[in-house]
Amino acid sequence: MKLNGTSSNIPPNGTSTNGQPSNGNHKNGYALNKHFAGMPDHGMPDHDVPDNELLNHDELVDEIGDAHGAASIDTPMRSDAFAIDDDLKIDLIEEHFREIMSILGLDLTDDSLKGSPRRVAKMYVNEIFSGLNPANKPAPTLFDNKFRYNEMLVEKDITVQTYCEHHFVPIIGRAHVAYISSGKVIGLSKLNRVVEYFSKRPQVQERLTIQIAEELKRVLETDDVAVIIDAKHLCVSTRGVRDINSSTTTSAYGGKFSEEATKQEFLRYVAQPSVTI
Ligand SMILES: [Zn+2]
């Protein structure tokens, strides 16, 4: 059994194929596992679960899910992530999600349920995970800093709606980002767009925070960037420990924001009540 195995199918009899290519041919004659067979996975090491006297396999998987740590700044992606187009991804996800619902015992002929597999597939590809595709990355609109505004610019209370990559349930919160211009300024809405783009992926909050900060550094050509995210994880509030009150705060401080005075100035702006209009 693999911790991070390639796409393994569960055949109708319910026994695991242990990551081996399945006979699950797509209706278009496309075999998912056949296509991906032999393709390397990236990201977390693809190793067998070590023997562990304290934790069985399921417990170990739960532990990793609860640790919420990111192994890398980059979202772990397959090298062949875009070998198939979005339309085919929707068809394939629809088929597999229908299988999940069926295994759960749901009646897919029911009027209320029969459209759900395709609805979920379209939502995954076109909406909530559209940020996996670099083609959807917002193009930065930069302007010269004509006003010679050399103080920090803070964009706060940016809505964050992302999905925990360990449980595939929402993480909802707010981001506060800031930068000090190195000569270029960015359109304000682009700050929101950058947060939104990296949020539309299965995420861990730590990685999301760093990805936003690194993208802003790259686009703005400065290390003087700060990002704070404060968010609630539905995997903490609706399952597991079921704590509806706790939230998680992460931060990334680059360049001048590593200096205490600058960091404190940023935190003061963030702490101020938001303007209401
Ligand atoms: Zn989670």
Q: Is 233 a catalytic residue?
A: yes
**R_g (Cα) of the chain, nearest Å:** 22
pLDDT at 26: 43
Catalytic site includes residue 235: yes
96: annotated active-site residue: no
Q: Report CA(249)–ligand 1 centroid distance (Å).
A: 15
Identify the pLDDT of residue 48: 43
Q: Is 166 a catalytic residue?
A: yes
Q: How much is the pLDDT for 17?
A: 37
The neighbourhood of ligand 1, an ion, using CB within 5 A, equals 164, 166-167, 235
How would you class 99 by CB atoms within 10 Å of its CB: exposed for 0-12, middle for 13-18, buried for 19 or more? middle
Mean pLDDT by runs of 10 across the 277 residues of the chain is 37 38 40 38 41 66 64 88 96 98 98 98 98 93 83 96 97 98 91 98 98 96 97 95 95 98 97 91
Does 272 qualify as catalytic in the annotation? no
205: Cβ–Cβ under 8 A, 6 or more apart, which residues?
68, 162, 171, 229, 231, 233, 248, 250
In this prediction, residue 247 carries a pLDDT of: 96
104 secondary structure, DSSP code = T
Provide the whole-model pTM: 0.77
Distance from the CA of 31 to the center of ligand 1, in angstroms?
Answer: 30
Reduce the DSSP state of residue 193 to 3 states and report it: helix
